[in-house]
Amino acid sequence: MYCEVHTLIEFSQVSKKYSNGTVALSDVDLKIDDGEFVFIVGASGAGKSTLIKLILREEKPTSGKVSVGGRNISSMSRWKIPKYRRSIGVVFQDFRLIPNMSAYDNVAFALRVTDVSSKEIHRKVPYMLALVGLASKARCKPDELSGGEQQRVALARALVNSPSLIIADEPTGNIDPELSYEIVDLLNEINKLGVTVVMVTHEHNLVAHFNRRVVTIDKGRIVGDTEKWEAAVL
């Protein structure tokens, strides 16, 4: 059976220079296919976060073109950005949960912004919390949850809108090493459902363990792009 693979994310000759003169990315060419699981690795200040910001359309490239789902997002007008972001699930190192909302409300919030009916919210949120193993902690506030649990709430929030792409920016940076594997395992399971996962990390053990495509960035340039972890690149 022949299965056609589409490019989901494409960077063509992308450079990004900030107003303070810092060159974050230089002539980056990168293609990520639909359904892939990609680790983006690199030292601090290498340009990983800028790459994520460009995908999220938080920043615009100074030159070049960033396309997501065949759409040039560099020229996207501001009012279209919210709708575009709803197609992406994002997980951050610091979880970014709203502190005065319960786990349930944090997940429900991502649905509310997309104008989903209350009935649909009541149906989807418990399902998502159960999926990440937090059904019993739905009423807990973020400060009543452990780091790993908070990250799982963030993951449920990222998944609840059924995105085609999950961006995970150092999702294991603030949690215990043994729990890190659980989080990436979850991302792995999500990827098996056909969701593209782009995960930024600098934890070599994790990258080596999961044996997926690895894109290495150094000083704003892609210096390595391998189908699996090669210790020499870092």
Partner 1 sequence: MRISSFFYLVGQGARNLWKNRLMSIASIGVLISCLLLIGAAVLASVNINSMMGYLEDQSEAVIFLDDELSDEQVESVRKSILNSGNVVTITFVSKEEALKEMMESIGDDGVLFEAYSEDDSNNLPDTFRITLDDVSKLSGTIVYLQNLEGVSSVSAPTEVAETITGLKKIVTIGGLVVVAILIAVSLMIIGNTIKITVFSRRKEINIMKYVGATDMFIRLPFFVEGVLLGLVSAAVAYALLYFGYGYLSQWIESNQNDWLAMIVTSLVPFSSVSMALLRGFLVGGVGIGLAGGALFLSKHLKV
Q: In what order do the strands lie in the sheet with 23-33?
A: 23-33, 7-17, 63-68, 71-72
Q: Which of residues 142-161 bind partner 1 (CB under 8 A)?
A: 157, 161
The angle, 0 to 180 degrees and rounded to 10, between the axes of the packed helices 103-112 and 147-159 is 20
- For residues 106 and 72, the answer to whether their CB atoms sit within 8 Å is no
Q: Binding residue for partner 1 (CB under 8 A) from 65, 96, 209, 213?
A: 96
Q: In whole angstroms, give the CA distance from residue 114 to residue 198.
A: 23
Nearer to partner 1, 117 or 136 (CB): 117
Residue 120 CB, shortest distance to partner 1, in Å, is 11
Q: What is the DSSP letter of 18?
A: -
The reply on whether position 90 binds partner 1 by CB under 8 A is yes
Q: Which of 132, 134, 152, 141 is nearest to 102 (CA)?
A: 141
The reply on whether position 85 binds partner 1 by CB under 8 A is yes
Within 8 A by CB and 6+ apart from 223, the residues are 216, 217, 233
- Strands 23-33 and 196-201 turn out to be unpaired
Binding mask 157-186 for partner 1 (x = CB under 8 A): x---x-------------------------
Residue 58 CB, shortest distance to partner 1, in Å, is 6
Q: 58 — alpha (psi -120 to 50), left (phi > 0) or beta?
A: alpha
Q: Contacts with partner 1: how many residues (CB under 8 A)?
A: 24
Q: In whole angstroms, give the CA distance from residue 158 to residue 152.
A: 10
Q: Which stretch binds partner 1 (CB under 8 A): 65-73, 97-105, 200-208, 226-234?
A: 97-105
Q: Which of residues 43-82 bind partner 1 (CB under 8 A)?
A: 56, 58, 79, 82
Residue 230 CB, shortest distance to partner 1, in Å, is 33
Residue 112 CB, shortest distance to partner 1, in Å, is 6
The reply on whether position 18 binds partner 1 by CB under 8 A is no
Tell me the sheet residues that pair with 88.
165
The reply on whether position 213 binds partner 1 by CB under 8 A is no
Residue 68 CB, shortest distance to partner 1, in Å, is 14
Q: Which of residues 101-140 bind partner 1 (CB under 8 A)?
A: 109-110, 112-115, 117-118
Contacts to partner 1 by CB under 8 A? 56, 58, 79, 82-86, 90, 96-100, 109-110, 112-115, 117-118, 157, 161
